[in-house]
Structure 1
């Protein structure tokens, strides 16, 4: 379980700005304990547990970056037209039969080790042959087309710092070092359920006043994408006793518990009451739209068990936005990943919009070529927090700053790609 107390997130402000919330997460939440070694094929998305240094030079020897001819640059004349005898041929995976002699060149292929004495490679496209003699034009610089041993990474160099989330290229680097497994942190265990008497499981009969549960499936997919292990606890009714019992049980076996729905101020919104029976809600409003009613706190399970808690809004678009801005940094912090804010790309607005100051606002939208061909952000036709197509028919979130009150076409806004949120 993460190292949490009931005041882990406690703050005095009634409404938190996003930067303050992120600072609190970094300062007050510790990563979950536990490490393991996993094979390379299971390592993408996992968080490196300890610094990993290179075991060998990469590349391990000087080699040719192209198909061509290896030679000694000191043999070349300044005016070009230098004639060198072609003495041998070196293929990738094979070594030259002998060192390169003065006035000689060796036919060589990409990746093949340079013969001893060779320091430069002439591309075959630039080569002229006169029988068995290579004619080298002017302009070849010392070391051209040569990959030096260790230029990619030298033995002892840092490959991966602790806290790095491993990507596909990282796995390639580990494999190139001959590694078969990597030390990583334990995956975060996340319990997740939806709340509400109106919420119905897909595949069952839909009553006249019911709606199928979309949020739980959205959140389960997002949690898995971030490398955590989700437990689907289904749908719970609007009953404080049932909610409190479920939260208490979930806290005993998980690092993080996420709910959706039931966190606003309505009479049937019982999640906050249930949390306070088995833990503490430390803040429940963030300066964000959609999704201001977001509860964050700590749950107490059996014995000394503690779990972080986040209660998200019930509208799907609001649940998505608050997952991106609240759950994502918390989940990555619990996983031990190095904190990195979501990349927000400045783009030109292709729309007009007005908002209240003092909160960050997120519109669902896409990037399209403007009249001059440069990309500009356009807003989806439906802005409501319940519109699921505002997520499926767009490419990202358009971010409008806390203190901005109006956006006009041509103004600069931020754009967060959905691939960054789920990656």
Structure 2
């Protein structure tokens, strides 16, 4: 019987031959959704010049001494300062009408807002004079150049995924383009003669190919490009041809199905058929101590241009696909994009496939012996008898810093069964149960791996924070 290996050891095997792909530089208009390849500093200060924080009148503060509604100070108005204009210097004893964000004239050191004058807000002809009803102090309603960010200040770290807000911030500090990591091209291959297109009428013994769609979606949700989705029957020859075609335009191939010990599993048959020093396809298979997803495989496919395109072979059951992609393929994508996979770095991609939050079990369940369990879960309300949960359950201390943790329950009553595809849309995270734990009790602490586009928004900041000391890198819960 083949001995099972820990998940960390297998991920190390998969990642070891992978090298980061070469990135490039993109204009900000094309950079949304991409990942920064380098730390970025400000090219210009923010604000770039001292400007007005209000619509009002630019003045010298000393010219407004003792101004009040009962005793206004009257100053002649010598000009307008709209946003985007370079104003003339302000002469002593005068005022200039100024708009919010407009550059403060040389000589001015304060802005009296229009509400503190005798002028009405809004578009009106430039007055000859203005009554100031409030005394100004130096710096009143003024934004000083560089008070937010100075030129050369760090503004964004390598590994940051560029949201709309991030792209906007980069533009505000004077950047027009940024270095980004490569966008990995992934080819998806589903194996099995029984597979049919979605919506196709099924004949006895056939099933819809849900895995192809699942993998293509997961690739996109993890920031990569799915360049092809193909299917192969159960012969080694057909599969080899499909894989060679998939390798042509891909940086990574991900397959589903055919990795077990069945008599017609095409990937295992292909591995046996490929002998010699330079076979067109090289595959190695292992048993990983995880549930679901025990049978796994990886290797490479030689493309026509001579490249060795890495391949990761996942089991065929849909929950196994989701779990295996999250714990194995996601770290591979992070490595190929040049992101660190260190659990201590705390940036986007660094924790790919690893727990990033802790929750509490709202129900009890049994776990498989000697295998780490990854259970699709959803967030839920605390159970009615939550106060009676064992405060020192096998998965961690339930008092002190565990107080206030969210509660989760498996998305299906059968837990992590690898065939429970209909319950997958409800999954918001994977709960990780260590191999040595025999049962989960109500109230036990559970490390969570968030699932992209399903994880609750209000918990995302907690998940993005540096990894809690409650969870070790293997995903096993430890005492705080």
Class of the TM-score when normalised by the shorter of the 2 chains? 0.7 to 0.9
Q: Residues of 1 paired with 2:76 and 2:287: CA distance?
A: 76
Q: Residues of 2 paired with 1:52 and 1:192: CA distance?
A: 34
CA-CA distance at 1:198 after TM superposition: 1.4
Q: Which residue of 1 aligns with 2:123?
A: none
CA-CA distance at 1:237 after TM superposition: 0.9
CA gap 1:164/1:133 in 2 versus in 1, 3 angstroms? closer
Listed as ranges, the gaps of 5+ residues in structure 2 are 120-129, 275-279, 342-349, 387-403, 461-480
Q: How does 1:235-314 map to 2 (within 5 A)?
A: 235-275=231-271, 277=274, 278-302=280-304, 304-314=306-316
Among residues 186, 190, 197, which one is paired with 1:194 in the alignment? 190
Q: Could you report, residue by residue, the CA deviation over 1:307-359 in whole angstroms, capped at 9, with x for unpaired residues?
A: 11111121112211211111111012112234310462222321212324654
Q: How does 1:352-363 map to 2 (within 5 A)?
A: 352-356=364-368, 358-363=370-375
Among residues 104, 123, 136, which one is paired with 1:114 in the alignment? 104
CA gap 1:313/1:378 in 2 versus in 1, 3 angstroms? same
The answer on whether the counterparts of 1:85 and 1:134 sit within 8 Å (CA) in structure 2 is no
Q: Which residue of 2 aligns with 1:3?
A: none
Q: How does 1:52-63 map to 2 (within 5 A)?
A: 52-63=40-51
Q: Residues of 2 paired with 1:361 and 1:83: CA distance?
A: 76
The answer on whether the counterparts of 2:181 and 2:338 sit within 8 Å (CA) in structure 1 is yes
Q: Which residue of 1 aligns with 2:477?
A: none
The answer on whether the counterparts of 2:32 and 2:163 sit within 8 Å (CA) in structure 1 is yes
The answer on whether the counterparts of 1:263 and 1:294 sit within 8 Å (CA) in structure 2 is yes
Return 209-218 or 148-157, whichever deviates more.
Answer: 148-157
Q: Residues of 1 paired with 2:148 and 2:105: CA distance?
A: 20
Among residues 427, 433, 440, which one is paired with 1:394 in the alignment? 427
Q: Which residue of 1 aligns with 2:469?
A: none
Q: Residues of 1 paired with 2:381 and 2:111: CA distance?
A: 44
CA gap 1:95/1:404 in 2 versus in 1, 3 angstroms? farther
SS of equivalent to 2:145? coil
Among residues 84, 101, 108, which one is paired with 1:93 in the alignment? 84
Q: Which residue of 1 aligns with 2:471?
A: none
SS of equivalent to 1:281? strand
Q: Which residue of 2 aligns with 1:8?
A: none
Residue 18 of structure 2 is aligned to residue 29 of structure 1: yes
CA-CA distance at 1:213 after TM superposition: 0.5
Q: Residues of 2 paired with 1:254 and 1:293: CA distance?
A: 24
The answer on whether the counterparts of 1:244 and 1:275 sit within 8 Å (CA) in structure 2 is no
Q: TM-score with structure 2 length normalisation?
A: 0.70
Q: Which residue of 2 aligns with 1:46?
A: 34
Indicate the RMSD between aligned Cα atoms, in angstroms. Answer: 4.0
Q: Which residue of 1 aligns with 2:5?
A: 15
Residue 360 of structure 2 is aligned to residue 364 of structure 1: no
Residue 230 of structure 2 is aligned to residue 234 of structure 1: yes
CA-CA distance at 1:49 after TM superposition: 4.7
SS of equivalent to 2:170? helix
Q: Residues of 2 paired with 1:121 and 1:332: CA distance?
A: 50
The answer on whether the counterparts of 1:70 and 1:122 sit within 8 Å (CA) in structure 2 is yes
Q: Residues of 2 paired with 1:359 and 1:100: CA distance?
A: 80
SS of equivalent to 2:133? strand
Q: Could you report, residue by residue, the CA deviation over 1:193-231 in whole angstroms, capped at 9, with x for unpaired residues?
A: 111121111243311211111110111122133333323
Q: Which residue of 1 aligns with 2:203?
A: 207
SS of equivalent to 1:149? coil
CA gap 1:293/1:26 in 2 versus in 1, 3 angstroms? closer
CA gap 1:106/1:315 in 2 versus in 1, 3 angstroms? farther
Q: Which residue of 1 aligns with 2:470?
A: none
The answer on whether the counterparts of 2:363 and 2:409 sit within 8 Å (CA) in structure 1 is yes
CA gap 1:202/1:155 in 2 versus in 1, 3 angstroms? same
